[in-house]
Amino acid sequence: MAIYAQNGLFQLNTRNTSYQFTADEHGVLVHTWYGARIPNESMAAGIWRQDVGFSPNPADAGADRAYSLDTLPQEVSCGGEGDFREPMLELTHPDGSTAADLRYQSHEVLPAAQSLPGLPALYGTGEEPGETLVVTLKDTASELYARLIYGVFPQQDIITRSVTLENRGTAPVTLERVLSLCLDLDGAFTLTAFCGRHAMERQPETVPVGRVKAEFGSVRGASSHQYNPAFLLCRPGTTETAGGCYGFCLAYSGNFLACAQADQMGRARVLLGIQPRQFRWELGPGAVFAAPQALLSYSGQGLERLSHNFHDVMREHLCRGPYKHAPRPLLINNWEATHFTFDRPQLLALARQAAALGIEMLVLDDGWFGKRDSDASGLGDWFPNEQKLGGTLGAFAADVRALGLKFGLWMEPEMVSEDSALYRAHPDWAVAIPGRAPARSRGQLVLDMTRADVRDYLFARLSAVLAEAKADYLKWDMNRSVCDAFSRALPAHRMGEFYHRFTLGTYELLERLLAAFPHLLIEGCSGGGGRFDAGMLYYTPQIWCSDNTDAIDRISIQYGTSFFYPACAVGAHVSACPNEQTQRTVPFSTRAAVAMGGTFGYELDPNTLTPQEREAMLAANADYRRWHDLVREGDAFRLAGPGGDTAAWAFAAKDKSRVLVTAVQLARRGYAAPPCLPLRGLDPAARYRCAALGQTHTGAAWMAGGITIKTLLPQYAAVQLLFEREA
From the number of C-beta atoms within 10 Å of its C-beta (0-12, 13-18, 19+), residue 227 rates as buried
Angle between helix axes 344-356 and 393-402 (nearest 10 degrees) is 30
How many Å apart are CA 252 and CA 537, to the nearest integer? 10
Q: Are 88 and 78 in contact (CB under 8 A)?
A: yes
CA dihedral in degrees (499, 501, 502, 506; nearest 10)?
140
How many Å apart are CA 189 and CA 156, to the nearest integer? 23
How many Å apart are CA 442 and CA 377, to the nearest integer? 10
299's enclosing H/E stretch is strand 293-299
How many Å apart are CA 503 and CA 252, to the nearest integer? 8
Considering 360, 366, 399, 533, which one is annotated as catalytic? 533
Residues 6+ apart with CB under 8 A from 456: none
Residues 6+ apart with CB under 8 A from 62: none
Number of H-type helices and E-type strands within the chain: 13, 39
Beta bridge partner(s), residue 391: none
Q: Is the peptide bond before 578 cis (omega within 30 degrees of 0)?
A: yes
Angle between helix axes 588-595 and 551-561 (nearest 10 degrees) is 20
Residues 6+ apart with CB under 8 A from 273: 88, 178, 179, 180, 181, 250, 252, 256, 257, 291, 292, 294
Residues 6+ apart with CB under 8 A from 353: 606, 607
How many Cβ atoms from other residues are within 10 Å of residue 631's Cβ?
22
| 613 in active site | yes
628's enclosing H/E stretch is helix 611-633
For CA atoms 173, 174, 179, 182, give the dihedral sign.
negative
For CA atoms 407, 413, 415, 420, give the dihedral sign.
positive
Q: Where are the beta strands (DSSP E) in 79-199?
A: 89-92, 102-110, 131-139, 144-153, 158-167, 173-185, 190-197
12's enclosing H/E stretch is strand 9-13
Q: Are 700 and 687 in contact (CB under 8 A)?
A: no
Considering 240, 553, 613, 635, which one is annotated as catalytic? 613
Question: Would you name the residues annotated as active-site residues?
Answer: 533, 613
